[in-house]
Amino acid sequence: MEEVERVELSRGLSLVHLMMMGMGMMIGAGVFVATGISIGFAGPGGILVAFALNGLIAFFSAMSFAELASALPTAGGAYTYIDEAFKGLVGFLSGWVNWFALTVAGSLYAITFATYTVFLLEGTDWFAGLGLDSELLIKLLALGIALVFIAINYIGVSETGSIENLITLGQMGTLAFIGLFSIYYVIVHPEKLAHFSDFVPNGWDKVLVAMGFTYVGFEGYEVIAHAGEEAINPKETIPKAILYSVAAVTATYLLFAFAAIVGAEPGDVPVHEWFAELGPIGMGEAIKDLMPYGGLLITLAAIFSSTSALNATIYSSTRVLFAISRDGRLPGIFSRIHAVRRVPHYALFASSLIVLTVALAFPIEDVAASADIVFLLIFLLVNAAVIKIRNERGDELDYGFLMPYFPYIPLLAIFFQGILSLWVFNVSPTAWAITIVWVLLGLVIYRNYEGARVEAFKFERETVFEEGETGRYRVMVAVANRKNAAVLTRYAEAMAERIGGELLIVSVVTVPEQTPLEEARRFAGEAVEVIREAKAHTSGKVGVEGIVYYSHSVYRGIMSAVRDKKVDLLVLGWEGRSRWSKYVLGSNLDRIVENAPCNVLVVKPGDTEGKPIGSILFPTRDGRHSVRSAELVEILAGAFGAKITVLTVNSSGESEKKLRERLKPVLEKIPGAELKIVPGEPVSAILEECKKHDLVVVGATGEPLFRRLVFGEVPEKVAGRCRRTVLLLKINRGIRARINRLVGRRVE
């Protein structure tokens, strides 16, 4: 037996650790650089409105992150969530762009540290006497602080977490003191509120620009999701840490912006023009005017905040690159973990290289705007991903948190984030150019590296054979073993031939969650033989395709096939309910029948199976709902040349005239069908009539008699007790119109 050494990240980050990481990353350049610049064009009231609305939008996205992180606590964060939802090119680009966004944010925080350090030094006589170039010194200090925190991250997670807590406590304490002092200051000097008289001097469109430009200050909670594999009890602690961090930071931003506005001493010029002239150091000058030693305090706050955020972004960007490489989408060297330090050291070095390069090469406004654009686009995709994942996989995932008012909250976030990303162009066209170039580079890498990989496994499938022309209507039969292959194929091919469609034969090979899907191919032999067995029972009158799907669950594999191949009718097999089972059809079948985005036909073979089908029994009661089922029953009868008996049980003593009138829509869809009305108890009466027919089709979802296909009392009893072959039919309302068109065109 071959032994494989498996190196994993340890779980040691608590709720406090996670909150400190998130708040530390959020409270960085969003306050000290972007705020001063934004007041310059949005005005004193505009920046407060921008922060409040950004906090609301961030809270919407935070709920999406919290929901996804509670169900998928992995190291990839946003990349993992988007890839789970969209896969392929979109999944790769999300990781590629997210990695870039985090590294650029790291550059921004390094520059912020250097800018405020130089701001403090410029106020001293000895520094002025040195005659040093401030811009050059800012670049050198940015380089130096980045190298320090690259080394800290190389040490390991536990040391990083301890330093993170210390730094974040320092920054929060400093900001809280400044904010509380500003409230006292306004009470003593109420005339300072006059700074808000020109609330939004340049128009409300500039508020949108300010929102887009300062949004980078609200992206820090993503680092919490990246720590999913290292968090204690991640399903509970990660959602709490994300939501608590956003709420705390939004309040801090509002208070701190208020302090800067009331503390500014603009003289005879409007306060927004004063901030516009000072640019990145406007916040520093305002706090310096607000209170004694304000310059020192603001510099300490900037140092605490920018270094904390820098530490968190280096950590987070490393984990994203690690996750992309671990998925095989970038060279494997980036997913190697240092045997001693237990950190992905090559991923750390690559991320660090970009942090250093961007910090040295671009002005701070362009760096900040680039980070804003990319984070807005990433969060937009995460909000789209939470909708897609809950709709398609919500029943199979174990959520620790579910957002309220779904899907309206993520839809609102998508709308506003799209608008804000476009408005950032007003601040820096260069930022959009940088973003586009990075995306194009990602496309090149995808085509030449990711595209060269075996796509069969990313799409979780491998084609066994394909022949014939593709029809407009697609019938898929899921076969699990040779025993049911012939039976299921019989009905699936009959429907496909009658409608003029094609037949898709699918078998699912499963492996445990911890086993890569690539390994599933080793176990595909039986599935291939089952598909070939099913193919052998076809007549050759319709196009047939056989595919093996590789998945971590039967449910997920079949649902992937249905969505991937755009299936119209899914045919499944059922051997009958176990006496002790809590499920109607079985755990996988119940979920598939309820959630499949297509019509579903479940076949329970009986004692008439394999024999000619001359008569079909179709029990129903409500003609209005039964019309949808009747359309496919008529197609089925036409395929086998069988007669149809429509049965209704009069258990309430209604007049025969009323029953016939109610069932008139059904009889119109099945010309030549016999209507039979019998008294008695529904289940017993139907079972008695079943004995006279070769095939029984049990009605559609929505009929009062068969209230729901899954967990419905009458269909469960009929299907379970009937000795004839029974077909359980569920109509998907979303494709009703298409069925009507096909029936009208092909079967008249």
- Report pLDDT digits (tens) over 115-150: 888 888 876 767 766 667 778 888 999 999 999 989
Task: Give the pair of three-digit tokens for residue 636.
Answer: 């089925």
Task: Output the CA–CA distances (angstroms, integers) from residue 641 to 493, 521, 698, in the order listed.
Answer: 14, 42, 19
Give CB contacts under 8 A, 24+ apart, made by 120-124. 120/295, 120/296, 120/299, 123/295
Lowest mean pLDDT among 105-114, 183-192, 220-229: 220-229
Cα separation of 593 and 558, whole Å? Answer: 11
Cα separation of 249 and 59, whole Å? Answer: 11
Amino acid identity, residue 504?
Answer: L
Instruction: Tell me the pairing of strands 502-510 and 544-551.
Output: parallel
Query: pTM of the full predicted structure?
Result: 0.60
How many helices (H) and strands (E) the chain has is answered by 29, 11
The whole-number pLDDT of residue 466 equals: 53
Nearest CA among 617, 620, 626, 563 for reference residue 592: 563
Nearest CA among 412, 438, 552, 530 for reference residue 482: 530
Secondary structure (DSSP) of 59-79: HHHHHHHHHHHHH---TTTHH
pLDDT digits (tens, 9 = 90+) for 605-654: 888 788 889 999 999 876 565 787 888 889 889 889 999 999 988 877 77
The whole-number pLDDT of residue 316 equals: 78
Query: Does 76 score more than 70 pLDDT?
Result: no
Query: Does 602 score more than 80 pLDDT?
Result: yes
Average pLDDT over residues 393-397: 73
- How far from the centroid of its chain's Cα atoms is residue 477's Cα? 29
Contact 280, 36 (CB under 8 A): yes
Cα separation of 520 and 552, whole Å? Answer: 9
Query: Does 354 score more than 70 pLDDT?
Result: yes
List the Cα angle 729/581/680 in 5-degree steps: 55
For 540, residues 6+ apart whose C-beta sits below 8 A from its C-beta are: none
Task: Give the pair of three-digit tokens for residue 239.
Answer: 């959602």
Query: Does 332 score more than 90 pLDDT?
Result: no
Query: Does 467 score more than 60 pLDDT?
Result: no
Cα separation of 493 and 36, whole Å? Answer: 69
Task: Give the pair of three-digit tokens for residue 95.
Answer: 């990781």
Average pLDDT over residues 549-571: 85
Q: What percent of the chain lies above the pLDDT cut of 70?
A: 82
Cα separation of 576 and 586, whole Å? Answer: 9
Nearest CA among 442, 505, 440, 452 for reference residue 477: 505
- Residue pointed to by tokens 């009158």: 541
Average pLDDT over residues 175-186: 87
pLDDT digits (tens, 9 = 90+) for 683-693: 889 999 999 99
List the Cα angle 221/222/223 in 5-degree steps: 90
Cα separation of 427 and 739, whole Å? Answer: 52
The whole-number pLDDT of residue 164 equals: 60
Cα separation of 446 and 83, whole Å? Answer: 14
Report residue 49's pLDDT band, with 50, 70 and 90 as the boundaries.
very high
3-state secondary structure of 9: coil
Query: Highest mean pLDDT range out of 120-129, 326-335, 339-348, 400-409?
Result: 400-409
| Residue 216, burial from CB neighbour count under 10 angstroms (0-12, 13-18, 19+) | buried
Computed over its alpha carbons, how large is the radius of gyration of the chain?
32
Domains and CATH numbers, the chain: 15-452 (1.20.1740.10), 454-573 (3.40.50.620), 601-738 (3.40.50.620)
The whole-number pLDDT of residue 342 equals: 65
Amino acid identity, residue 233?
Answer: N
Task: Output the CA–CA distances (angstroms, integers) from residue 630 to 263, 350, 481, 741, in the order listed.
Answer: 76, 62, 30, 14
The whole-number pLDDT of residue 177 equals: 84
Cα separation of 91 and 79, whole Å? Answer: 7
Task: Output the CA–CA distances (angstroms, integers) from residue 37 to 42, 299, 511, in the order listed.
Answer: 9, 17, 54
Cα separation of 552 and 358, whole Å? Answer: 41
Report the residue count for the chain: 748
Report residue 700's pLDDT band, with 50, 70 and 90 as the boundaries.
low
The whole-number pLDDT of residue 219 equals: 76
Cα separation of 280 and 358, whole Å? Answer: 18
3-state secondary structure of 729: strand
3-state secondary structure of 151: helix
Sheet holding 569-573, edge to edge: 461-467, 544-551, 502-510, 474-478, 569-573, 599-604, 725-730, 695-698, 615-619, 643-650, 674-679
The average confidence (pLDDT) of the chain is 80
Instruction: Tell me the pairing of strands 674-679 and 569-573.
Output: unpaired
| Residue 3, burial from CB neighbour count under 10 angstroms (0-12, 13-18, 19+) | exposed
User: What's 469's DSSP letter?
Assistant: P
Average pLDDT over residues 63-89: 78
| Secondary structure element (H or E) that encloses residue 474, with its range | strand 474-478
List the Cα angle 685/690/695 in 5-degree steps: 145
Give all strands (DSSP E) within 595-717, no chain letters. 599-604, 615-619, 643-650, 674-679, 695-698
Cα separation of 174 and 298, whole Å? Answer: 8
Task: Give the pair of three-digit tokens for residue 222.
Answer: 């993503």
